[in-house]
Each structure stands twice: as structure tokens, then as C-alpha cells.
Copies of this chain bind each other. A is one copy, B any other.
Amino acid sequence: MNKIQRVLIVGGTHGNELTGVYLVQRFEQQPHLVQRPSFDTRTLLSNQAAIAAGVRYVDQDMNRCCDRQSLATPTPAAYEVARAQEISRHFGTTGSTPADVILDLHSTTANMGLTLILDDHHPFKLQLAAALSAQQPALRVYSSANSGRQQDALRSLGRFGFCLEVGPVAQGVLEADLFHRTEALVLQTLDYLDRLNQDTPTTAPHPLTLYQYLGTVPYPKDSKGRLQAMIHPQLQGQDYQPLHPGDPMFLSLTGETIAYAGEDPVFPVFINEAAYYEKDIAMVLTRPQQIEVETWVEPESEARTCR
């Protein structure tokens, strides 16, 4: 595999997720923190209008408009599409300063701790995930590969896109502890990429737990589309914990418990994420899979495989 030449750290793809916004500001004020000998590190506040307005997005979700069709729109009306095109011209795979790795910093109101999101199972991504997991046992790795979602996230503009999703933290709030834990993870990621570039094997064979997308669960609603239930208090904050058939899932506004009716245990994430109310997603169901990621041993080949 070709070496990593440029890493782009992005904050503010959602303008009210302040952890990423202020981490990028910090890195811009103290660039030595993110500079590494073997590659060029850039930082970017992506959705500047949304950041200024303190909202998730101005016209449309920037993390859903980086697909080919949007990028090919001649005169986009939506601010975010225009901005995606601009970012693609710079950091896209055919851009002026293409990013090999995009690390997009997000936060969630769900209790997801430190989560690394992969959109596919490219060996390089699994390798990075395994290496970070070995260093940060609290790190969870979520894979959206089975979701059927097209490549429309901002991170998809780069050769290898990663998302850091950290929580719980309210939209519009900067929370110091999570800020520092996220910063540490970003710096560990850069260190890993630097070691990889310098041909130093960095991980032993490592078991990696991938929480793989199974589906989403909508909120119970009435015929007028009004919310009729909320996340059950027993499920609130229980991201990545098993939900068994019959376990409480929702509590209706009138006090009835609605149980999980599936046949197999699932592991919900994004439980009660504020931004997903409008997408009618109460939670995302996953199932963990243990895989073994082989030690990276042949720097110039694609020898890293997943079995």
C-alpha cells in the first residue's frame, strides 16, 4: 500500500458538535500537536456556516451530501453541497491536495463513549481500528458497512475515511473530559499512521470487536406522526449493551412499556441521539463480531487481511 501522505482532521461537519470544532481550533493554534514527520497534517472546519449559527446544518446535512451526484451538481442551491464541492476540490482523491486519511470528529448525545466508525472493512481500516483498540480498551468500533448507506459522508471524500463519534454530550456544549479523551485518540491515530509510514510493525495479531449495523428502530408514533413513546429508562445510556427479547425498549407517554420483540439479542447504539429524531431513528441495532486482524508485516503490499 502506498504510504499516507496527507491526513485531514475535520471538525464542525455538524456545526453544533463542539468537541470537533474546538479540537480543530486547538490544533490550529498549536499545530505541533498534530504534525508528524512522515506526512502532512491539515485541519478543516467543514460546515463553517453551521458552526457560526450553532446548528447542525444550514440547508442540509453535510454528512449526507458528499455523494457523487451532489458533487456533480453544476450550481448547488444548498450551502452544504457547495461547501462539499469546495472541500472535494481541495482534499478529494482527485483534488489539489488529496487527503489519504480523513478523520472527521463528531459527537453524540448517546452514551457511545469513544467510538470509531468504519464504513467498510478495508484491511487498512481494520488494522487501524485494531491498533487503536489495543491502546484504548474503552474504544468501540462500529461498522456501518452493512447499512446500505451510500458513500455520502464527508469522510468519504478521502481515500480512507474515519469518523470519531464521542458522547454523551449535548449539542452546543463543549465538555472538557470528552474533549481531552477525543484529543488523545486523535493523537494516537496520528502516531499510529506515522509508525506505519515508517515501516515499523506496530501491532501483534489482535482480536477486534466490530459492532456491525443490523438496522434502525423508529419511534412509536400516532397516525398524525407524533411521537408516542420515549426510550425506556432501563435502555437509556445502555449503548453497546445487550438488549434481549422481551427487554424494555420504549416507554409510552401514557406509561406502557414496549418490549424488544426480536428473536435474538442485539446491541443498540445511538440510543436517543438528538439529531436522529428528525430521521426517525430511536436507535441503531448492531451485533458484535469478533475478528482477528493480522499483524501488519509487509509495508509495500496489501497483505493485511481480515478473516
Which residue numbers of A lie inside 8 Å of B, CB to CB? 22, 25-26, 29-30, 54-55, 109, 168-177, 179-180, 226-227, 230-233, 236, 251, 253-254, 272, 274-275, 277-278
Contacts of A169 in B (CB 8 A): 170
Cα–Cα, bound, A277→B51 (Å): 12
Inter-subunit contact A171/B174 (CB<8 Å): no
Chain B: CB-nearest residue to A250: B176
The 7 A-B pairs at the shortest CB distance, nearest first, are namely A172-B274, A170-B170, A109-B170, A176-B233, A174-B230, A26-B253, A173-B274
Q: Which of B226, B236, B275 contacts A177 (CB 8 A)?
A: B236
Inter-subunit contact A26/B254 (CB<8 Å): yes
Inter-subunit contact B277/A54 (CB<8 Å): yes
Count copies of this chain in the complex: 2
Chain B: CB-nearest residue to A273: B173
Given A29-B253, A29-B254, A168-B170, A230:B274 Cβ within 8 A: no
Q: Which of B25, B171, B177 contacts A172 (CB 8 A)?
A: B171
* CB<8 Å pairs between A and B, sample of 16: A22-B227, A25-B226, A25-B253, A29-B254, A30-B254, A170-B170, A170-B173, A170-B274, A171-B171, A172-B275, A172-B277, A173-B274, A174-B230, A175-B231, A176-B233, A179-B230
Cα–Cα, bound, A253→B21 (Å): 12
Cα–Cα, bound, A172→B55 (Å): 12
Q: Chain B's nearest CB lies how many Å from the CB of A299?
A: 35
Chain B: CB-nearest residue to A180: B233
Chain B: CB-nearest residue to A54: B278
Beyond the given pairs A54-B278, A180-B233, 14 more chain A to chain B contacts, judged by CB atoms under 8 angstroms and listed by A's residue number, are A25-B227, A29-B253, A29-B254, A109-B172, A170-B171, A170-B274, A174-B227, A174-B230, A174-B231, A175-B230, A175-B231, A175-B272, A176-B251, A177-B233
Inter-subunit contact B29/A236 (CB<8 Å): no
Inter-subunit contact B236/A176 (CB<8 Å): yes
Contacts of A25 in B (CB 8 A): 226-227, 253
Cα–Cα, bound, A253→B176 (Å): 9
Q: Chain B's nearest CB lies how many Å from the CB of A121?
A: 32
Inter-subunit contact A173/B29 (CB<8 Å): no
Given A54-B278, A253-B29, A272:B173 Cβ within 8 A: yes
